[in-house]
Chains A and B, each alone.
Chain A
């Protein structure tokens, strides 16, 4: 027996030693690599959680695809740090008095990364491709008001509109309107991306990484890194570990706790604002919510701050409908800016449901990390006034399917915002909007106001119109707007010149370099 003891013990010691030796060997081998190597040849590495599967600008929808594509392609217009349109490869357009002709002047000497010239013909070709139904472009809706496009000379693009549409320039800033060379097709671009952005495509390993190299002919200046790699690491904690060991230098997180665990002496986290908004979507067309007082009761029973503090872990601020910086809704301009249970009960009585009612609320864990927590928080808050909420937590594909079909009473959603309020809401709340069935609310007043909102390009005039639209939406509790989130841009301190922009947008990543 004793002999076995010894051999058993020896076996254990040996195996532990082997593992430990392997670990320490490995640790030695890598210790000199743990800080990012600086210098001109170094690659800047951005950690992302999913493969940017769509490489054709106009069909791209995923956030990751747009992050990568915004490095490879340039859009006609650029944005400032808040997301408001500014001059890009073209100056801000001259708009005719009737608002129906937009004239863009391109900068001189623009080149694609392959060396060919970028002129008005390429812009016309790209926009034509987007408007062609056969392209099935996700950006086609930005061109809904466009009648035709001319390229009278190499530097000039003239867009003729069917009717005035002040929201048109905002669409020209999105990566899915990036300019491609004349003749490029979805098939050629999917395998060989070709744009005039700060970096050009070099190589790609599906589900592992995409590597780009500096485009020396970029119009706005010399991009800061010789190489830029987007590395796909599906697990956020794994990205955190990679940030801490210096093998990844830039990442963005939604979850404040994840961002906090990533910070250290060498890694800094910067909170940035977002145009996105989290909302309790109500469908006024469903029988249980058809009475405006029932919807107002829900608005009054919910403390938005409570949703932010508990479900969103404090990373957000209560918001009204519009998050566009120039047109932002006053978050307190609504019937119940704060939770008011007495008022909620009064609305319930007016709705003929003094003891409350039952509401089905759909959500999905697959949408974003706090979606189910938000639903449960709202469930608890509404229970205080007798509204019984059944939370249905669905798989994300099922959720999207039911959402598109308008097959729900209420839903938790996080929707993207825009620098232009018309882009944000016309598709939901005009009677002809593509998502009006999903939104479940329309009115002749809203139709009229939305039409007025795009008829003029005067910002002050538009601001008053969107204030009225905002009031219409909250006074009728079309939906209950909850909060606009904070995002976190996390970067190694060796990265210089990284701009913290709204939505952690990486379109100015080219200014960043490794010191």
Chain B
């Protein structure tokens, strides 16, 4: 972290410095990993027909895709573009990565937020239920359900739910072609419902566990006993004093989950045909569109780093104890 210390002693500038170092690291790692995997854009787009191209044709294709330059030059060409706001162009769709991302990112953010919302709607009440009688049937059965929810692979749940609804209710809005929230809010929300529920089911268990643990911990705190001794009624005590404090770790946990969902809702996006950022990376990988993958991964990493940075900064404001460190 020598480099990071160059950004100064002040914790805020140091955190920003670390964030930049992280992003550079991510960009180099993505660049190298993409090229270690066999195959390139010529074989990806021609398939076995690449075997019928003459060496001269292969060479001119490589020049077209920018694969003939030394790796270091390729990296800095790309990085220079990113720093000047050019994330590259997809050679198959003839669209800039910037415009692709501008279309895909809002869908992913919407999906991630709805997923978190469903997770909270399921997880927080579940945690309350479990914490209401710790160690008893209600607690153990709630935890059992949460363990099952955590263990179900999302692709399985997604496929099962979609098939069941289509077969029994004749309802499957995701087959109609994707509409954004601005095009057609009604259809968009229908299309987001199933994927959000599937994501929510995987977000809920950690939320549930965190809620339960936090409530139990806070219920044992001195200030709760003091409040009760002062005569605060049961309802008011549970909501104002216990639940409100217990939600702090839950919010932190949700922020972390949001970060993961922004980059990792790939399976759900794929199954429910949501044109989001995860699918953009996958398609880029399949077609060996290096610029698409590199730039999109960088965008995802930047969001993740930014969310973390903001969380840290907000913490410094709300919790004076952090500032002391």
B151 at the interface (CB under 8 A from A): no
Cβ–Cβ contact B38 & A401, under 8 A: yes
Chain A residues near B287 (CB-CB < 8 A): 53
Say yes or no: is A97 at the interface (Cβ < 8 Å to chain B). Answer: no
B315 at interface by CB-CB < 8 Å: no
Q: Among the listed B128, B176, B193, which residue makes an inter-chain contact with A247, where contact means beta carbons less than 8 Å apart?
A: B176
The stretch among B255-263, B268-276, B293-301 that forms the contact with chain A is: B268-276
Interface-side segment among B17-25, B65-73, B79-87, B93-101: B93-101
Query: Per a CB cutoff under 8 Å, which of A53, A190, A231, A242 touches B172?
Result: A242
Q: Is B264 an interface residue (CB 8 A)?
A: no
Asked whether A208 is an interface residue with its Cβ less than 8 Å from the other chain, the reply is: yes
Minimal beta-carbon separation of B132 from chain A (angstroms): 5
CB of A242 within 8 A of CB of B288, answer: no
Question: Is the beta-carbon distance between A31 and B48 smaller than 8 angstroms?
Answer: no
**Cβ contacts under 8 Å, A342 to chain B:** none
Q: Is the interface of B mostly helix, strand, loop or mixed?
A: helix
B186:A29 contact, CB within 8 angstroms: yes
Q: Is the CB of B121 within 8 A of A30?
A: no
Task: Compute how far the CA of A398 lies from the CA of B44 in the bound complex, rounded to whole angstroms.
Answer: 10
Whole-angstrom distance between the alpha carbons of A155 and B70 in the complex?
A: 52
Would you give the 0/1 interface string for A177-208, flagging 1 where the beta carbon is closer than 8 Å to chain B?
00000000000001100000000000001111
Interchain CB contact under 8 A, B39 and A401: yes
A10-64 at interface with B (beta carbon < 8 Å): 11-12, 15, 18-19, 22-23, 26-27, 29-31, 33-34, 45, 47, 51, 53-54, 59, 61-62
Task: Give complex CA distance A395, B198 in Å.
Answer: 28
Among candidates B38, B60, B235, residue contacting A7 with C-beta atoms closer than 8 Å: B235
**Pairwise interchain contact B129-A12, C-beta atoms closer than 8 A:** yes
B235 and A3: CB pair below 8 A?
yes
Task: State whether A8 touches B125 (Cβ < 8 A).
Answer: yes
Q: How far is the CA of A292 from the CA of B260 in the complex (A)?
A: 56
- Distance of A207 Cα from B273 Cα, bound (Å): 9
Name the distance in Å between B189's Cβ and chain A's nearest Cβ.
7
State the main secondary structure of chain A at its contact with B. Answer: helix
Min distance, Cβ A403 to any Cβ of chain B, angstroms: 7
Q: Which residues of A from 360 to 418 have beta carbons under 8 Å from B?
A: 395, 397-398, 400-404
Inter-chain CA distance A133–B59, complex, in Å, is 12
Q: Verify if A238 is at the interface (C-beta below 8 Å from B).
A: yes
A-B contact count (CB 8 A): 194
Interface check B252, CB cutoff 8 A: no
Q: Which of B61, B100, B175 has a CB less than 8 Å from the CB of A238? A: B175
Binding stretch for chain A, among B8-16, B49-57, B306-314: B49-57
Which chain B positions have C-beta within 8 A of A403?
Answer: 48
A404 engages B51 (CB within 8 Å): yes
In this assembly, does A9 line the interface, its C-beta being within 8 Å of a C-beta of chain B?
yes
Q: Taking the complex as formed, is B37 at the interface, i.e. its CB lies under 8 A from any CB of chain A?
A: yes
Interface pair B163/A208, CB less than 8 Å apart: no
Partner of B174, one of A1, A7, A238, A397: A238
Contact A1–B166 (Cβ < 8 Å): no
A71-96 toward B: CB 8 Å interface, digit per residue (1/0)? 00000000000000000000000000
Q: Are A234 and B279 in contact (CB under 8 A)?
A: yes
> A236-251: contact bitstring with B at CB < 8 Å (1 yes, 0 no)?
0111111111111000
Contact A239 B175 (CB under 8 A): yes
Q: Do A4 and B170 touch (CB < 8 A)?
A: no
Of B159, B177, B287, which is in contact with the most chain A CB atoms at under 10 Å from its CB? Answer: B177
Q: Is A438 an interface residue (CB 8 A)?
A: yes
Q: Does A233 contact B (CB under 8 A)?
A: yes
Report the minimum CB–CB distance from B119 to chain A (whole Å). Answer: 11
Choose among B45, B118, B272 the residue that contacts A54 (Cβ–Cβ < 8 A).
B45
Please give the distance in Å from A163's CB to the nearest CB on chain B: 19
Interface range on chain B (Cβ under 8 Å from partner): 35 or more
Contact residues in B for A270 (Cβ distance below 8 Å): none
Q: Is B148 an interface residue (CB 8 A)?
A: no
The complex places the Cα of A387 from the Cα of B227 at a distance, in Å, of 78
Q: Tell me whether B189 and A26 are in contact (CB under 8 A).
A: yes
* Complexed CA–CA distance, A138 and B57 (Å): 12
Q: Are A208 and B178 in contact (CB under 8 A)?
A: yes
Please, how many angstroms separate the alpha-carbon atoms of A232 and B118 in the complex?
27
Complex interface: chain A residues within 8 A of B166 (CB)? 240-242, 244-245
Q: Which of B51, B100, B175, B288 contacts A435 (CB 8 A)?
A: B51
Across-interface contacts of A3 in B (CB, < 8 A): 234-235, 238
- Known A30-B171, A238-B271; judge A404-B37 contact (CB<8 A): no
Contact across chains for A54 and B92 when beta carbons are under 8 A apart: yes
Distance between B213 CB and nearest chain A CB, rounded to angstroms: 16
* Contact yes or no, A235 B94, CB < 8 A: no
- Known A3-B238, A208-B275: A397·B283 in contact at CB below 8 Å: no
CB distance from B115 to the nearest CB of A (A): 13
A7–B243 alpha-carbon span in the complex (Å):
11
A140 sits at the interface (CB 8 A): yes
Asked if A61 contacts B175 (CB within 8 A), the reply is: no
- A458 CB to nearest chain B CB (Å): 29
A33 to B53, CA, bound (A): 49
State whether the Cβ of B253 lies closer than 8 Å to any Cβ in chain A: no
A209 at the interface (CB under 8 A from B): yes
Q: Which 4 A-B pairs have the closest CB atoms?
A: A242-B175, A397-B39, A241-B166, A8-B128
Add 17 more A-B contacts to A243-B175, A401-B38 (CB < 8 A): A3-B234, A4-B128, A8-B128, A30-B190, A53-B93, A54-B92, A136-B57, A206-B100, A209-B177, A235-B270, A240-B163, A241-B165, A261-B163, A397-B39, A397-B43, A401-B39, A404-B51
**8 pairs, CB–CB < 8 Å, chain A vs chain B:** A1-B234, A206-B100, A209-B177, A234-B279, A235-B271, A245-B166, A395-B37, A404-B51
